[in-house]
Amino acid sequence: MKVLGIETSCDETAAAVVEDGITILSNIVASQVDIHARYGGIVPEVASRQHLLTILPVVREAMNEAKVTWRELGGIAVTFGPGLAGSLLVGVNVAKAVALACGLPLIGVNHLEGHVYANWLGRDNLPPFPSLCLIVSGGHTDLVLMRGHGQFDGVGRTRDDAAGEAFDKAARILGLAYPGGPAIERAAQAGTPSLPLPRAWLKGSDDFSFSGLKTALLHLVRQGEILSQAFLVADAAASFQQAVVDVLVTKTIAASEKLRVKQILLAGGVAANGQLRDNFVRLSPLPVTMPEPALCTDNAAMIAACGYYHFQNGKVSGYDLDVVPNLSLARSA
Domains of the chain: 2-119+295-332 (3.30.420.40), 129-290 (3.30.420.40)
Distance separating alpha carbons of residues 306 and 260, to the nearest angstrom: 25
What Cα–Cα distance (Å) separates residue 2 from each residue in 5, 124, 308, 313? Answer: 10, 18, 8, 16
Q: What is the spatial distance between Cα 254 and Cα 250, in angstroms, rounded to a whole number?
A: 6
pLDDT at 131: 98
- Pairing label, strands 131-136, 141-148: antiparallel
Element (H, E) at 51: helix 44-66
pLDDT score, position 33: 83
| Mean pLDDT estimate for the chain | 96
The torsion of the CA quartet 295, 296, 297, 299, rounded to 10 degrees, works out to 40
CB atoms within 10 A of CB 219: 9
Cβ contact 138:111 at 8 Å: no
**pLDDT the model gives residue 329:** 87
Cβ 82 vs Cβ 9: under 8 Å: yes
pLDDT score of 332 more than 80: no
* Closest by Cα among 45, 149, 52, 127 to 91: 52
| Mean pLDDT confidence for 285-306 | 97
Quote the pLDDT of residue 331.
53
CB 309 within 8 A of CB 280: no
State the average pLDDT over residues 13-23.
Answer: 98
Which residues make Cβ contacts (< 8 Å) with residue 108, sequence separation at least 6? Answer: 77, 78, 80, 92, 317, 321
Q: For residue 164, how far is the Cα from the chain centroid? A: 9
Three-state SS at 28: strand
Which tens digits make up the pLDDT trace of 97-128? Answer: 999 999 999 999 999 999 999 999 999 999 99
Looking at residue 41, what is its pLDDT? Answer: 84
CA neighbor of 7 nearest in space, from 161, 117, 124, 156? 117
Q: pLDDT tens for residues 219-244?
A: 999 998 899 999 999 999 999 999 99
At 135-191, the pLDDT tens digits run 999 899 999 999 999 999 999 999 999 999 999 999 999 999 989 999 999 999 999
User: What is the spatial distance between Cα 267 and Cα 285, in angstroms, rounded to a whole number?
Assistant: 19
Distance from the Cα of residue 104 to its chain's centroid:
27
pLDDT tens digits, one per residue of 177-228: 989 999 999 999 999 999 999 999 999 999 999 999 999 999 999 998 899 9
Provide the percentage of residues in the chain whose pLDDT is more than 90.
93
pTM here is 0.95
pLDDT at 333 over 70: no
Sign of CA dihedral 49, 51, 52, 53: positive
